[in-house]
Amino acid sequence: MATETRTRSVVPKGTLYRGREGMWSWVAHRITGLLIFVFLLVHVLDTSLVRVAPEAYNVVIETYKNPVVGLGEAGLVGAVLFHAFNGIRVMLVDFWSGGPKYHRQMLWAVGALWVLLMVPFLVRHLSHVFGG
Amino acid sequence: MAAPLLEAPRSTPYRRSTSRRSNYEMYSWLFMRLSGAVLAVLVIGHLFVNLMVGDGINGLDFGFVAGKWASPFWQVWDLAMLWLAMIHGSNGVRTIINDYTQRDTTRMVLKTLLAVALVFTVVLGTLVIFTFEPCPVGPDGALLTGAPSFCAG
Amino acid sequence: MSSTAREKSAAKRNGEHVDENGHAHGKAGEEASSENGELGAIPSFDVVMRIRRYNAEDAEDGTPVEARWEDFTVTLHGTDRVLDALHKIKWEQDGSLSFRRSCAHGVCGSDAMRINGVNRLACKVLVKDINPDKPITVEPIKGLPVEKDLVVDMEPFFQSYREVMPFLITSGHQPTRERKQSQEERERFDDTTKCILCAACTSSCPVFWTDGQYFGPAAIVNAHRFIFDSRDEGADVRLEVLNDREGVWRCRTTFNCSEACPRGIQVTKAIHEVKRALLTRTV
């Protein structure tokens, strides 16, 4: 064990690896996934207040109805949509024989689809959040 | 003079923990992809119904939840989403822990915490969905405040 | 082709002006000409090589010191590769600079290093192709313990390689004739025979950086080379090795390996095929 710590410490930090689309999509996939997981834990907890009392649930939900949480929700939806579409891209890479060849084009498709869905969602959601 | 002590070649500190001869990682990998495909549909449907249809985010209150869970369709939908998302997420976080923790004790502690969070959340969520009462009454038999309007009728 | 025409076309390639006599008058050409006082001298340019230096012996109290950057300015020609720049530094400026190289022609796989942030073979990258106006960073490959400067300990890499049993496994008697194989059968693993074990792929993999136990792309590529060889009978054993906790299921398809491979092997595709063979249990 001692030798292992020694060898590990010798690896110099150096610069960031300049990976391309594949690497950055993986980084984003990992970050969004972690974000969604943390939200999910909180979301199950607050939803389980419906079992305590209707008032308790309504009070907590009411505190969520402000612009800060509203923007957070928009970010969450963005993360979920990216994670979902990129996940489908990963599945195509894994299961479709043409996947490894077209992985980059598929990432652009993921981006296009994401924008296509986020625009109408943001219009509607932000008008709810800021329009009262 | 004693000869300098030389390490025998190949007696390096790099040792891979012995293979466990199981398909566990394969099934975990497969589960991530299959559950991911189902979750994409479930979660996007969930978001659409809760945020886009009707009053969107402003329509959310106890009555909204009660109205949804009055139907077995949404109960099954949410139950499936809860289980799949929690297992999918925990498996993903497990991979992240495996990747970034260096010490065995840290890894054990984090994985234990993760397992506790997984079991707690899944059990809690399942109980809530199954024992949910859309028209809750107090000890005096009257409807609690905040109960949806359709209960009165 | 006359000598003037040849000179013209060469000057054109270097982006220089050519007068009616066919003499080059580029910026670099003028500099070189005025220095040497002769026409037609080969144009040269100065470039800063920013090299990651590390030497465990630098520490006075025996504790390892932090790696540091060191800049060297070298004068190079358009035909010089990064390896030539490193040679110039080692031979003319600082003899303590350490790096591995052997054939210097992209076949032995000794000089994989991180050039401007990506894994490349130093002997294959032309300096003029990677923007010599800015300092060129050269670092050791990631994820393997550094021994000195650009030299890393390759043992973890080769241990994974050995574990996939990269040799022909057969049963029965030795045949009296050669083992025959059709062109189609050979085609299945042709891509993965090109591997030169330079470790550019394995040390470009984000999973390998953080989890040194992962077999890594190179070991999987070399397993692929035998798993899909019709003459080999050890596919099941190798697939079982790669079904390990640290085997193919660790692959996150970031495609860094495919982009890093100096031989152009479709590494991610090879891993994909091994995964598929494991899922269906058919080779």
Looking at residue B66, its pLDDT comes to 86
Confidence of residue C26 (pLDDT cuts 50, 70, 90): very low
The DSSP bridge pattern shows strands C112-115 and C136-139 to be: antiparallel
d(CA A114, CA A79): 10
pLDDT beyond 80 at C66: no
Does B5 map to a domain? no
Both tokens of residue B41?
């549909």
pLDDT beyond 70 at C44: yes
**Quick one: which H or E segment has residue A38?**
helix A21-47
Residues 6+ apart with CB under 8 A from C164: C215, C219, C220, C222, C223, C226, C238, C241, C242
Least confident of B18-22, B102-106, C199-203: B18-22
Looking at residue C152, its pLDDT comes to 92
- What sections of chain B are H helices per DSSP? 24-47, 62-69, 72-100, 104-130
Instruction: Give the residue numbers in C contacting B (CB under 8 Å), as ranges.
Output: 155-156, 159-160, 163, 207, 210-213, 240-241, 243-247, 249-250, 275, 278-279
Does A16 map to a domain? no
Contact C145 A11 (CB under 8 A): yes
What ipTM is given for this predicted complex?
0.83
Residue C243 with chain B: CB contacts under 8 Å:
19, 23, 25-26
Confidence of residue B118 (pLDDT cuts 50, 70, 90): very high
Does A33 map to a domain? yes
List C-alpha distances in Å: B81 to A116, B89, C41, C187.
Answer: 25, 11, 72, 45
| Percent over 90 (pLDDT), chain A | 50
Are C70 and C135 in contact by the 8 Å Cβ rule? The answer is no
Contact A90 B92 (CB under 8 A): no
Does A49 map to a domain? yes
Overall size of chain C counted in residues: 283
Residue B61 with chain A: CB contacts under 8 Å:
57-58, 61
Looking at residue C17, its pLDDT comes to 45
Chain C from 238 to 257: CB within 8 A of any A CB: 252-256
Residue B85 with chain A: CB contacts under 8 Å:
40
Does B39 map to a domain? yes
Domain, as residue range, for B83: 26-133
Residue entry with tokens 């024989």: A97
CATH number for the domain including B109? 1.20.1300.10
Q: Summarize pLDDT for A29-86 with one digit per residue, the tens.
A: 999 999 999 999 999 998 888 888 888 888 888 888 888 888 999 999 999 999 999 9
- Number of domains within chain A: 1
pLDDT beyond 90 at B4: no
Between B76 and B57, whose confidence is greater? B76
Task: For the sheet with C112-115, list strands across it.
Answer: C68-77, C44-53, C136-139, C112-115, C118-121
- The residues facing B146 across adjacent strands are none
d(CA A118, CA A123): 8
Asked if B38 is an interface residue toward chain A (Cβ–Cβ < 8 A), one would say no
Give the mean model confidence (pLDDT) for residues C45-72. 81
d(CA C32, CA C34): 6
**Quick one: which H or E segment has residue B139?**
none
pLDDT beyond 70 at C29: no
Does A13 map to a domain? no
CATH number for the domain including A45? 1.20.1300.10
- Architecture of domain C43-152 in CATH? Roll (3.10)
How confident is the prediction for chain B on average, in pLDDT?
Answer: 83
d(CA B95, CA B89): 10
Instruction: Determine if residue C281 is left, alpha or beta; phi over 0 gives left, psi from -120 to 50 gives alpha, anything else beta.
Output: left
In this complex, the residue of C64, C139, C269 whose CB is nearest that of residue A15 is C139
- What sections of chain C are H helices per DSSP? 3-13, 27-36, 82-88, 155-163, 183-187, 206-210, 217-227, 235-242, 256-260, 267-280
Q: Summarize pLDDT for B22-56 with one digit per residue, the tens.
A: 788 899 999 999 999 999 999 999 999 888 877 77
Nearest chain C alpha carbon to B31: C249
Number of cross-chain residue pairs from B and C with Cβ atoms under 8 Å apart: 46
Domain with CATH 1.10.1060.10 in chain C: 155-280
Between C97 and C61, whose confidence is greater? C97
Looking at residue B79, its pLDDT comes to 93
Does B33 map to a domain? yes
| Spatial CA neighbour of A129 closest among A50, A60, A54, A68 | A68
Nearest chain A alpha carbon to B44: A81
| Percent over 90 (pLDDT), chain C | 64
pLDDT beyond 50 at A124: yes
Q: What is the Cα Rg of chain A in Å?
A: 21
Residue A87 with chain B: CB contacts under 8 Å:
33, 36-37, 40
Does B15 map to a domain? no
d(CA A70, CA A90): 30
Both tokens of residue A106?
């598929």
Contact B24 C212 (CB under 8 A): no
Domain with CATH 3.10.20.30 in chain C: 43-152
In this complex, the residue of A10, A17, A94 whose CB is nearest that of residue C142 is A17
Residue entry with tokens 């890093």: C260
| Percent over 70 (pLDDT), chain B | 86
pLDDT beyond 60 at B149: yes
Asked if B116 is an interface residue toward chain A (Cβ–Cβ < 8 A), one would say no
Both tokens of residue C209?
């950086």
Given a contact as 3+ CB pairs under 8 Å, which chains touch A?
B, C
pLDDT beyond 60 at A10: no
Q: Summarize pLDDT for C32-43 with one digit per residue, the tens.
A: 444 555 677 788
Domain C155-280, CATH number (from 1.10.12.10, 1.10.1060.10, 3.40.50.300, 1.10.3720.10): 1.10.1060.10
pLDDT beyond 60 at C7: no
Q: Side chain identity at C270, as an amino acid letter?
A: A
Q: Summarize pLDDT for C150-200 with one digit per residue, the tens.
A: 999 999 999 999 999 999 998 888 889 988 999 999 999 999 999 999 999
d(CA A128, CA B51): 9
Looking at residue A5, its pLDDT comes to 33
